[in-house]
Amino acid sequence: MILIVESGSTKADWVLVDNGNLHSRFTTEGLNPFTNADYDQIIAKTVGDNLSDYDISHIWFYGAGIVGEKEETNVASAFNDISKGRSTQVVIEVKDDLIAAARATCGTDEGIVCILGTGSNIGHFDGTQIIAKVASGGYLLGSEGSGMALGREVLKMYIRDQLTPASIKFLESEYQISKENIFDKVYTQHIINRYVASFAKAITGLEPHEKLTITSKVFNEFLEERILKLEASKKLPLNFVGSVADSFSKEIEDMLKKNNLSLGKIVDKPIHNLVEYHIKHN
């Protein structure tokens, strides 16, 4: 039996596969080491509560925030209890979210892979590994094209009175915000980027010209700051993963077409394709 975990900043999908067949699946909150300080405790508790009865031989963990050896080691250590009382050691492999997105969209083919969810990421996949990427910098230093970037633009237009009265009324009703409480709501959040990113969904409730203003700015920033910084993006298909990519697929397709770039796949949840990938290559 193998366990596949695919985690973004907001939520993580856990899937058990037994003899090439889907056994069970469940979801926990996101396990990004940089935005959830309790990620290791959540992993350990999930292992104890949900996985202790299963004979798991191999764990594949893919996650946002896996930027180096330190994060890989810490995540792997959080799974240590799964090997207790077993005669053989469970193999634990930790990869970043770009590898997950690449395997979910490209399989073993070469391509450019982009993640647009709560945060954002991009890399050049050669069929085996990521050989070049443009760093995100996280939600404070980057995250162009992400839910965080979209939500931030919604809130900026709200506090600066750049929205129509109808859109302001919609936001205040939908999110229970006001000009008096918005700063308190944003800056007292335990995980600020998740809260701000939640306003990305509100874009569909705004006036058409407001939606166009926000999406054009945010996705063009991703194009200029991230996509075009990879030379290979001009000759390889661009694949997208994540809820933002899925929700704004038309805007992304139009942007690429306007810039003579090739669109590959757009996948909302990579976990489904990752399961197929590991069944095929296990």
Per-residue pLDDT tens digits for 137-164: 766 777 899 999 999 999 999 999 999 9
Of 196, 175, 245, the residue nearest 10 (C-alpha): 196
| Distance of alpha carbon 212 from alpha carbon 193, whole angstroms | 22
CA 265 to chain centre: 16
> Mutual orientation of helices 97-105 and 270-281 as an angle, nearest 10°?
80
For residues 14 and 3, the answer to whether their CB atoms sit within 8 Å is yes
Residue ranges per domain, the chain? 2-102+271-281
Q: Are strands 111-116 and 91-96 parallel, antiparallel or unpaired?
A: unpaired
Using CA of residue 147, residue 149, residue 150, residue 153, what is the dihedral sign?
positive
Tokens of 148: 């965080």
Tokens of 17: 């596969």
The pTM of the whole model exceeds 0.75? yes
pLDDT at 56: 92
2-102+271-281: CATH topology = Nucleotidyltransferase; domain 5 (3.30.420)
Which regions in the chain score pLDDT beneath 50? none
For residues 57 and 2, the answer to whether their CB atoms sit within 8 Å is yes
| Distance of alpha carbon 251 from alpha carbon 256, whole angstroms | 9
pLDDT at 194: 86
pLDDT at 193: 85
| Distance of alpha carbon 104 from alpha carbon 92, whole angstroms | 19
pLDDT at 188: 87
For residues 281 and 263, the answer to whether their CB atoms sit within 8 Å is no
Residue 137 vs residues 53, 119, 226, 248: alpha-carbon distances, Å: 39, 10, 11, 23
